[in-house]
Amino acid sequence: ILNVEQSPQSLHVQEGDSTNFTCSFPSSNFYALHWYRWETAKSPEALFVMTLNGDEKKKGRISATLNTKEGYSYLYIKGSQPEDSATYLCAFPLIQGAQKLVFGQGTRLTINP
Amino acid sequence: AAGVIQSPRHLIKEKRETATLKCYPIPRHDTVYWYQQGPGQDPQFLISFYEKMQSDKGSIPDRFSAQQFSDYHSELNMSSLELGDSALYFCASSTGYNEQFFGPGTRLTVL
């Protein structure tokens, strides 16, 4: 069984601080990695889809890097704001061309004002 | 911008009843996915459709069936409901293998 693991499971950060967390995935047979942001009582929101080793993507204060050889992706948030509080999920397709995503358990980020 | 629409948003059913959940994808999206998220659990992929044909299947019970119609909306039919079917059911849509856009979910409670 191939698993996606995210760490830490939970993170509390002071407003204004920067933070990062990890998504680990099997490095063999890599096809793509998705990052989603999921706020309580809302639906998951796509952040990034990353496909190439060394990819770095940015959206405002959020950025992500990808290392397919060692099987990890980092998500960085610079200057955390209360609205960044959410669960951040990574997911990847198990089989090339497959549409179903295997999700990690997420990192629940809480920004303390 | 138009988003994925799911209906109903909340549904309460008794055990052994039947439920139908509907999903209307973003216009021009050709792929629809269904996910189930139980309390405190990760979203679990159930099934997906591409151009009205089933394209991938996950952990969908035999009691559930789904289809995508000519207008690309999809319905998830759930029969002989069990207590364990109580969950949040998300629908998502995409164009091909691009990022998935999720609907607000339908919260199903089975009593």
Q: Measured between CB atoms, which of A34, A48, A100 is closest to B56?
A: A100
Pairwise CB contact (< 8 Å): A44 & B98: no
The pLDDT value recorded for residue A1 is 45
Is residue B30 within 8 angstroms of chain A, CB to CB?
A: no
What sign does the dihedral B94-B100-B103-B105 (CA atoms) show? positive
Per-residue pLDDT tens digits for A71-113? 999 999 999 999 999 999 998 876 665 566 777 888 999 999 8
The pLDDT value recorded for residue B22 is 97
A to B CB pairs, distance under 8 Å: 49
For residues A27 and A36, which has the higher predicted lDDT (pLDDT)?
A36
Pairing of strands B101-102, B87-94: antiparallel
Distance CA A55, CA A60 (A): 16
The pLDDT value recorded for residue A77 is 97
The pLDDT value recorded for residue A103 is 79
- Start-to-end CA span in chain A (Å): 40
Residue carrying the six token digits 């990052």 = A35
Nearest CA in chain B to A39: B104
Is residue B51 within 8 angstroms of chain A, CB to CB?
A: no
Chain A residue numbers with beta carbons less than 8 Å from the beta carbon of B45 are: 100-102
Pairwise CB contact (< 8 Å): A46 & B101: yes
The pLDDT value recorded for residue A39 is 82
DSSP code of residue B25:
P
- Give, for B84, the enclosing helix (H) or strand (E): none
Q: In terms of C-beta density within 10 A (0-12 exposed, 13-18 middle, 19 or more buried), how is residue B83 classed? A: exposed
**With a cut of 70, which residues of chain B have pLDDT below it?**
1, 96-97
